[in-house]
Amino acid sequence: MALSQSSGEMTCDSRVCAAMAQTDGRAAVAAVLRIMQRLQDETGLFNEKVDGYVRTFVVRKIVFAMVVEGPWEMDWGKVLRPEFQSMCCDENQYLQEFDATWTAGEISSFVFGRDDWPMLVSVFACLWHDAFDKKKKAAREQIISDIVVGNFGRKARLMRASSGHAWCPALIAKRSLAD
């Protein structure tokens, strides 16, 4: 088992500690993926077929924390999209839109204009996919028209005045479309 509990304290075995102590991010991610596989094999936790999203969600959290605040150094310019996909949950396959030869750094630069935010690409796509859904083209055009003529801003001010707080733009849009 990767983790054990003795005398009330959670401790890790040498493989887990070694993975967390890595400074080479790619080697560390590979170690984390091996640990996740071992947890699946030994306990049934994080079964890739059943809990695939949860598994990659946990991996993304570990990678994100260890790259941003921990000892891992990641050269995103060397991590190709297929390898990168193993590090982050992308349930709706947004990253598939990028060619397999693109690096995580290139994908991040394309989306954000900076190469060090690739872990946020699928998060961003997930949060904004409804706003850009092709099926909602007519609604999007109506919202854009409302913004241009000032109706959206008026609706936002009225909603804020009636509730005492600012509203999420998506909710303002829904209310605008319903009126």
Identify the CA nearest to 59 among candidates 92, 37, 82. 37
Indicate if 88 and 64 belong to the same structural domain.
no
Indicate if 157 and 90 belong to the same structural domain.
no
Can you give the pLDDT at residue 101?
95
pTM over 0.85: no
Which residues, 6 or more positions from 92, have their beta carbon under 8 angstroms from its beta carbon? Answer: 122, 125, 126, 129
Count up the domains in the chain and report the number.
Answer: 3
Report CA 131 to chain centroid distance, whole Å. Answer: 17
pLDDT per position as a tens digit, 143-155: 777 777 878 788 8
Domain range enclosing 142: 133-178
Q: Which secondary structure element, helix H or strand E, spans residue 30, and what is its range? A: helix 25-43
Indicate if 44 and 6 belong to the same structural domain.
yes
Q: Tell me which amino acid residue 124 is.
A: F
Indicate if 126 and 140 belong to the same structural domain.
no
Indicate if 36 and 86 belong to the same structural domain.
no
Indicate if 69 and 82 belong to the same structural domain.
no
Indicate if 128 and 142 belong to the same structural domain.
no
Indicate if 6 and 70 belong to the same structural domain.
yes
Indicate if 80 and 95 belong to the same structural domain.
yes
pLDDT per position as a tens digit, 33-52: 888 888 888 887 777 666 66
Indicate if 8 and 65 belong to the same structural domain.
yes
Indicate if 103 and 141 belong to the same structural domain.
no
Which residues, 6 or more positions from 40, have their beta carbon under 8 angstroms from its beta carbon? Answer: 46, 47, 48, 55
Phi first, then psi: give them for residue 151, nearest 5 degrees.
-65, -35
pLDDT per position as a tens digit, 73-122: 888 999 999 988 888 878 788 888 889 999 999 999 888 888 888 888 88
Alpha-carbon distance of 56 to 46, in angstroms, equals 9
Indicate if 65 and 109 belong to the same structural domain.
no
